[in-house]
Structure 1
């Protein structure tokens, strides 16, 4: 696996039963700059990527998707892919010799990870974890991975959870131009109900939440794409609109952020608390 970052990357390895079919290897990465994983695969390990504290950008067969903290990017062995993460983010890469039953047939793509499986990934990445408990933890992690259920266009709802449904769809494509009223019509709720649910779930209105999602996604993409292409990919009509929004959020321009990745500029402190 190729790993690219401007600064030294912290990588801890936690292996349990390596060499056996029921073994599991947990790699924990963290860096002060954006991380980029790129691999032309010829190994015999399946793997998935998960980040509990930010978005991941994953690319396979010319298709890019974004993965949130409740999801993983699954990759079957020998499948070429790329994964990007923002700065100051923790990424777990879990390597397996067997495919979870629910993901059988999936070469590469997004899967949901339940709370227990996520908790056990964190637990396995601790030196004091008892190796005798690892096989059961591995089995539970595999059972906690399921194919992602796409939000239905005709989903009925009384209001609870509609914001989460929209958020899941946008997390996979921050550039989706769908307006709030169009989402409300699609989910059979009023605009007021959907807006209220966004404030309840995320503490901010839809437009503000979408802006933060897009800019967070931009942090993961600036490693690999020019500013103009990033602006288009995350849904801005022009590079200038993207640059202005990015500067308001973080206090520096996307161009300077890209330079940080290659060690050409100091790392300024973002204005936003998130």
Structure 2
């Protein structure tokens, strides 16, 4: 049976858009999430977020990051829409350890919608959406790495995608198809323009990301997930090979007398 598609609206039946928007404001009493970070995305209007003695007003197009354990209450203004998104502390690592407000671009909103969909419905893509949302938020506050970057369009696009999501495990042939070239040409571009093979460059990118996450206090298990390794032991071996010490030792600052 073919579903019917409605035709043009009849003037006799105006849509709801012909009436003024009326969404009452909502006050949410103080709460705290110990096992989850919260990313509150302001879709429309504004919200006053109170965190102890700190109050922050977020406006349309902004996301406020609340690290796990942050006590907060909300005053969602009238005619406003706020999407709460959660990120599990144990499942995935982040360098965002302080309350942070981040503006997001129109082309980035699809990632936040996809995360909301995966958390609120049975539609759950196999890709790690949490990882991509975190990358959007983190790159607003992180200083750039000293990682050499390729300059040719195809290799630069691949490098940018891997900096955005270091856990992406696609092979060089997959990336070559993505940017319309051959695996051999892509490999040559990385070697000629960075002095590193594609594999070496990706490993360095992952290790830089892992180092930041560990120093920010993330667990080895959650960093493993974030940077694309299958298990903590494999990640630990790669990290030790690169930095000459275990992830745990790297994350623990030396005692100072």
Higher alpha-carbon Rg: 2
Give the TM-score band, short-chain normalised: 0.3 to 0.5
> Higher relative CO (CA 8 A, sep ≥ 6), structure 1 or 2?
1
Question: How does the TM-score come out when normalised to structure 1?
Answer: 0.42
Q: TM-score with structure 2 length normalisation? A: 0.45
